[in-house]
A and B are shown apart, each in its own frame.
Chain A
Amino acid sequence: MTNAARPRALAATVALAALVLPWVVARLGPAASYMLNLSVIFAIVAIALNLLTGFSGQISLGHAGFLMLGEYASALLTLKAGFPFWAALPASALLVGAIGFLVGLPAVRLSGNFLAVATMGFGLAVPEVMLNWAGLTHGSAGLMPKSPTIGGFSFGSDVAYYYLALFCLALVWYICATLLRSRTGRALQAVRDSEPAALASGINAAYHKALAFAISAAFAGVAGALYAHYVNFVSPNDFSIQDSFLFLAMIVVGGLGSLPGSLLGAVLLTVVSQLSTSLGQFSIILTGSVMLLAVLFFPGGLISLARRRRPTPRVPAPLAQRSAAGGS
């Protein structure tokens, strides 16, 4: 944007509104507060996924798997290893990030459709492992992690937890924004735009691709840990392959390669899917329709509507060119 003052004023307004929001929403009842907190937690996942897909050009159909790993990591660390929540949260981020790095290793050599298939396999495998590794995870009986406390204060209420989640969201946003402006961030986007050109400029494409996976997984792990200690129950049924699709829908509807877009998409789709949960199947029908409409009519996402005057399209071009899947 040429005019720097306007977006800054907008950002300040949004931030202020975010601080007041829980008190307004609380008047609508506990279901609305739950939806709000879920939106904040899912916004972290959307930013994580956008970092990977929108900014580094790698698709993941397995982010629900990372989210679930974060849930279990944090629940197990607090319940079985006696970690306090405040240590378990960063520890699960590191743990899930390390797993993300391992999953990202094959991704170094894959792109497009093949990467989608590989990550989808990962996403299907995680709930199965959690269900059947009963000695550690208690199978379908699940785990019951406690709400975090600090001093004598418990984050058991919706409003208190909102601020905790919001703080994490702000932190993740800040880290991502800083990262994207750094040398590493530029390298990620260069690899996205043209891998051969990036290689020719001396960028280690393989390292940056795996790094993007690791960071994205770590943030998804943070969201998982936050979710686990919010609902105080963790089971293999929490997230499925459908949720991986939902996260992808968030960033596509919101806007690929845009942090505000991730936020917008996360809030919109969380509300849509939660509101329609009472309507049974209509939740996924509505989510699917929104995805389809977005792809057909707003390929740049909702955020592109706000950016109409910009001449350049916001959809990362390289995903178009990499229609041939396969080798490097």
Chain B
Amino acid sequence: MFWQTLVDGLAVGSLYAVTAIGLVLIYKTSNVVNFAQGEMAMFSTFIAYQAFTHWAWPYWAAVLAASAFALVLGWAVYWLFLSRLSRAPLLSQIIATLALFLLFRGVAGAIWGNQPFSFPTAVQPTVVRFGPTLILSTQIITFAACLLLMALAYALFRYTRVGLAMQAISQNMFAARLMGVSVGRVYGFSWALSTLLGAVAGMLIAPTLFLSPTFMEGVAIRAFAAAVVGGFASLPGAAVGGLLFGVLESLFGFYISPAFKTTFVSLVIIAVLYVRPGGLFGPRTVKKV
């Protein structure tokens, strides 16, 4: 049973990891924690639902359309709201993302209603047996897709021009701007990419959680937890954190209590932050006077 729990934990943990990487990408470049990340992912997933169920598009077309929507949505949210607040106090930026959280949840509820909807899977779920352990084909696809996305995000950040620009901005925005980096464009790009990552996680987890305006709330808090493990500054840290939380939570749910999972996650967040305020893999931060 242990291996079963581990497999389930890794499958769901990879989704947390992808969402967390989205959060970290934005934080690393623009120092904003996007509290609306989960709701933006929820909204994009609803677009896929709309295309698939109401317009009868094929699954892959619906997913692609929703992904494109997510890219535009992330970019638009940055340009319409967050770009205006780049010099505002941190609290204003937090409030702005919280306001977006409420807006997306409200608009989704107004359009589609609050009851849970079923969402299609990429393939027909079939069972693969490894001894006593059962693995669903959908779990394998989820895990593979997430690993691929994580690898792509990492490669992009590490080896491409725009990734280099992101790194430069996260080290010193002023110097990056002097070197000719278009800071606004890079911010917009990281918002778009981050929203895409969230949306893919949303579409992969929607078949299990059922689609509703609140369905990403639990995923989002776990993604925050995962990002905290990496100190919000490390992409591999967030990935490890996501997988770790998936597994820990799955073990906790199976061996101790399935009802107190969120409480467990919150306690872990608070404990990690108490012991290492910069996260387990995060850099030591020194406060400037």
Contact = CB atoms under 8 A, between A and B. Distances in A.
Interface of A: 53, 59, 61, 103, 105-106, 109-110, 112-114, 116-118, 120-122, 124-125, 128-129, 131-132, 194-197, 241-242, 245, 248-249, 252, 256, 280-289, 291-292, 294-296, 299, 315-317, 319-328
A129 B81 contact: no
B96 interface: yes
A117 B99 contact: no
Contacts of B100: 288, 292
Nearest to A195: B287
B144 interface: no
Given A118-B269, A128-B262, A287-B102, A106 B274 contact: yes
A299 B84 CA distance: 12
A161 to B, nearest CB: 29
A288 B225 contact: no
A77 B284 CA distance: 45
A196 B286 CA distance: 12
Find the residue from A110, A121, A321 having the highest chain B CB count within 10 A.
A121
B94 A121 contact: no
Interface stretch (B106-114, B147-155, B200-208): B106-114
Interface in B195-231: 217, 221, 224-225, 227-228, 231
A216 B102 CA distance: 24
B106 to A, nearest CB: 4
Contacts of B85: 295-296
Contacts of B231: 326
Contacts of B101: 245, 288
> Which among B85, B225, B277 has the highest number of chain A CB atoms within 10 Å?
B277
A61 B270 CA distance: 13
Interface size class, chain B: 35 or more
Contacts of A292: 81, 96, 99-100, 103
B224 A120 contact: yes
16 contacts: A113-B33, A114-B273, A118-B273, A121-B267, A122-B270, A128-B259, A245-B101, A283-B106, A284-B105, A291-B99, A295-B92, A295-B96, A295-B99, A321-B288, A324-B31, A324-B287
Nearest to A126: B263
Contacts, number: 186
A241 to B, nearest CB: 7
Given A113-B27, A121-B270, A296 B110 contact: no
B178 interface: no
- List 8 tightest A-B contacts by C-beta distance, closest first: A121-B266, A288-B102, A285-B106, A291-B99, A326-B285, A288-B103, A132-B259, A281-B109
Contact of A124 (B221, B277, B289): B221
B164 interface: no
Contacts of B92: 252, 295, 299, 315
B88 A196 contact: no
A128 B273 CA distance: 21
Contacts of B270: 103, 106, 118, 121-122
B265 A322 contact: no
A117 B91 contact: no
Contacts of B102: 242, 245, 284-285, 287-288, 291
Given A121-B266, A121-B269, A285-B107, A323 B259 contact: no
Nearest to B107: A285
Contact of A116 (B94, B217, B262, B277): B94
Given A128-B261, A285-B107, 10 more contacts: A114-B228, A129-B260, A242-B105, A252-B95, A288-B103, A315-B92, A316-B91, A321-B288, A325-B232, A326-B285
A325 B263 CA distance: 23
Interface string B7-38: 00000000000000000000100010101000
Contacts of B287: 195-196, 322, 324, 327-328
A112 B97 CA distance: 14
Of B221, B232, B262, B273, which is in contact with the most chain A CB atoms at under 10 Å from its CB? B273
Given A299-B88, A320-B90, A113 B105 contact: no
B162 to A, nearest CB: 23
Nearest to A117: B224
B180 interface: no
Contact of B95 (A248, A285, A323): A248
Nearest to A289: B103
Name the residue in A194, A286, A316, A327 with the highest tally of chain B Cβ atoms < 10 Å from its Cβ. Answer: A327
Nearest to A119: B270
Given A116-B35, A284-B106, A317-B89, A124 B266 contact: yes
